[in-house]
Amino acid sequence: MVTFAQKVITFNRQLHYSGKLPADFNVINPYLDNPETLVVMQQFYNKYYNDNLKRKFIIGINPSRHGAGVTGVPFTDTKRLYSACGIKMQSAHTHEISSVFMYDMIEAYGGPETFYKQFYINSLSR
């Protein structure tokens, strides 16, 4: 049986935007921009989502260039990826305000293990 982690990882690996954008706009695809992003994203999902549990879906907007735009993990900068999730990213060091808020909330909920068993977070952008 395919796990939730495997589904997310497969989806993320296949992300590609080929549409037209207005002048001075570009697409951030962290999985193409930095090979380490694929590695840490897979470590994260295999650590917290390697099962088939049902979860509530929390939807945010526009992934940040200092959070998911670097780590590949929504609302997670490199500082929280390491300090809260135990996954170190060598090639980048970022700080994102929304990540601080989210991980304060996640910690108050019981920590990443408890939170991610019950919730899946991702972002939409238009």
CB 67 within 8 A of CB 44: no
Range scoring the smallest mean pLDDT among 8-12, 34-38, 64-68, 115-119? 64-68
For the stretch 49-61, pLDDT in tens is 999 999 999 998 8
Tokens of 5: 């982690």
For the stretch 54-106, pLDDT in tens is 999 999 887 777 787 889 899 999 999 999 999 999 999 999 999 999 999 99
- Reduced 3-state DSSP string for the chain: CCCHHHHHHHHHHCCCCCCCCCCCCCCCCHHHHCHHHHHHHHHHHHHHCCCCCCCEEEEEECCCCCCHHHHCCCCCCHHHHHHCCCCCCCCCCCCCHHHHHHHHHHHHHCCHHHHHHHEEEEEECC
Q: Is the pTM of this model over 0.85?
A: yes
